[in-house]
Structure 1
Amino acid sequence: SVQGADGPREIVIRPIRNREERQLLYLEEIEHRQHYVEEASQGRVAYIHIQSMDGRSVESFERDLFAQAHGKDALVLDVRDNGGGWTTDILLSSLTAPNHATTIPRDGGRGYPQDRRLIYAWTKPIAVLCNEYSYSNAEIFSWSIRTTQRGPVVGEQTYGAVISTGGTSLGDGTWLRLPFRGWYTNLDGSGMEDHGCMPDLRVENTPTALVSGEDPQLAAAVMEALRQVR
């Protein structure tokens, strides 16, 4: 128990693992960024961070399109500090889906029925954030946005670690991992391995800015998103 101004109180302390603590701190940081974007854009731009290129993050992305992006004019997609995975093409099916027809349901409203798509579609403007800690499939995603000219890419050049790998176990119990596919950008044919995606707008998050709680990269991405809707 602890002694408070109104007398003793019983406090229960539940220890958690480091991984759980990191996730709680991550969610707190994402909430802070969402509030910043909401204020900086006067409610016109949504912010979504993609933590990893996996199925769970795709589910979070689609959920956030409803929760964060509904009614917004533009979207900032952040793949900074993303270790990669395999879901670039799933995300692109949302961000580049063409409306090949218009439907008018019985109860009114024009558009294209979202229930016909594999994933909720976002066809409004976007800006994408990447940095030197964007790896593998997060880099492929950044390259894909640049290649398709879907929107501006902002931040720092990605790490340059892009290969497809597989593995097998050996008789002595060790694990052998081998690359089986190389990736090359359609912009100039250069390999993505050791050749990170250079953003359209390079912005550095300096140590001074980070210590003061500022995020110049995010601020620039919000401005790029707004520039497309003004």
Structure 2
Amino acid sequence: MDGNSFHKLYSELLGRYRHTDAVIVDTRHNGGGWLHDDVVTLLGGKEYEQFVSRGQYIGSDPFNKWLKPSCMLICEDNYSNACGTPWVYKELGIGKLVGAPVPGTMTAVWWESQIDPSLVFGIPQVGCRDMRGNYSENSQVEPDIAVYNTPEEQLKGIDRQLEKAVQLMLETIKKK
């Protein structure tokens, strides 16, 4: 979850994929970053006006946010902000989480370099607390739809978590 990956998500989602009916955001196997607010702001857009020319719909606002259904793939080795991002996504009710539970590892870390620049270590400094007073550290993020991929399936290229997310989005857009 770094700036380059967010810029790619933003430009592709609001560029060539703008006219798709839904999106699946895959956060699995992610070491974190500090983009939870950027991601949920992008995915949590609410349409508040439409542009119409001579009776023809041509667009809507907000133009810089995703306004359609989404879900987020998560797994057991998401770490740090890859735990925080799904938590915020679920907390704000943007969409469903699909996959395996994420260990509660959302704590801000201060990184220190040593005299030998190859040695770097992190010191957990800042806890993240929800509006009810609960810290996210050691608070597992549970998926709305639990699906586990086995190593055997992964070796065969089978991704049941992704398959379930696709099924969920197809069912969601069919209801609209």
TM-score tier (shorter): 0.7 to 0.9
Which stretches of structure 1, 4 residues or longer, exceed 6 Å deviation after superposition? 105-108, 170-174
| CA–CA distance in structure 1, aligned partners of residues 116 and 2 of structure 2 | 31
Report the Cα offset of residue 223 of structure 1: 1.1
1:179 aligned to 124, 129, 137, which one? 124
**What CA deviation, in whole Å up to 9, does each residue of 1:130-173 have, x standing for no partner?**
00111111111111121111111000011322111224557898
In the alignment, what sits opposite 1:15?
none
1:154 aligned to 58, 83, 98, which one? 98
1:80 aligned to 7, 25, 28, which one? 28
TM-score w.r.t. length of structure 1? 0.65
Q: Which moved more, 1:72-81 or 1:204-213?
A: 204-213
| CA–CA distance in structure 1, aligned partners of residues 94 and 136 of structure 2 | 19
In the alignment, what sits opposite 2:19?
71
Asked whether the equivalents of residues 77 and 127 of structure 1 are also in contact (C-alpha less than 8 Å), the reply is: yes
Letter in 2 for 1:157: P
In structure 1, runs of 5+ residues without a counterpart are 1-52, 115-119
| Equivalent residues, number | 171
| CA–CA distance in structure 2, aligned partners of residues 207 and 176 of structure 1 | 31
Asked whether the equivalents of residues 160 and 195 of structure 1 are also in contact (C-alpha less than 8 Å), the reply is: yes
The secondary structure found in structure 2 opposite 1:111 is strand
Report the Cα offset of residue 122 of structure 1: 0.8
TM-score w.r.t. length of structure 2? 0.83
In the alignment, what sits opposite 1:43?
none
**What CA deviation, in whole Å up to 9, does each residue of 1:65-88 have, x standing for no partner?**
123x23211111100011100111
In the alignment, what sits opposite 2:155?
211
Change in CA separation of 1:214 and 1:109 when aligned onto 2, cut-off 3 Å: same
| CA–CA distance in structure 1, aligned partners of residues 155 and 112 of structure 2 | 44
| CA–CA distance in structure 2, aligned partners of residues 133 and 87 of structure 1 | 18
2:48 aligned to 84, 91, 100, which one? 100
Report the Cα offset of residue 64 of structure 1: 2.1
| CA–CA distance in structure 2, aligned partners of residues 80 and 211 of structure 1 | 16
Asked whether the equivalents of residues 143 and 197 of structure 1 are also in contact (C-alpha less than 8 Å), the reply is: yes
Letter in 2 for 1:184: R
Change in CA separation of 1:108 and 1:207 when aligned onto 2, cut-off 3 Å: closer
Question: Is 2:111 the partner of 1:111?
Answer: no
